[in-house]
A and B are shown apart, each in its own frame.
Chain A
Amino acid sequence: MAEYNQATYDAVADIIAEVSSIDRATIVPDSHAINDLGIDSLDFLDVTFAIDKKFGIKMPVEKWMEDVNEGRAKAEEFFVMRNLVRRIDELVAQKATAA
Chain B
Amino acid sequence: MTAVRVFRRCAGTVTIVALLAGCAMGPTREDPFEPANRVSYQVHQVVDGKIVKPVVQAYVDYTPRPVRQAVTNFFGNIDDLFSFANDVLQGKPDKAGNDLGRVITNTAFGIGGLIDIAGDAGIPKGNEDFGQTLGVWGVPQGPYLFIPVFGPTTVRDGTGSILRAYASPIGYINDISTRNILWALNLVDLRASALQAENLVNQAALDPYTFIRRSYLQRRQYLVYDGKPPPSKDEE
Answer yes or no: are A and B bound together in one complex. no
- B residues sitting closer than 8 Å to A (CB atoms) are none
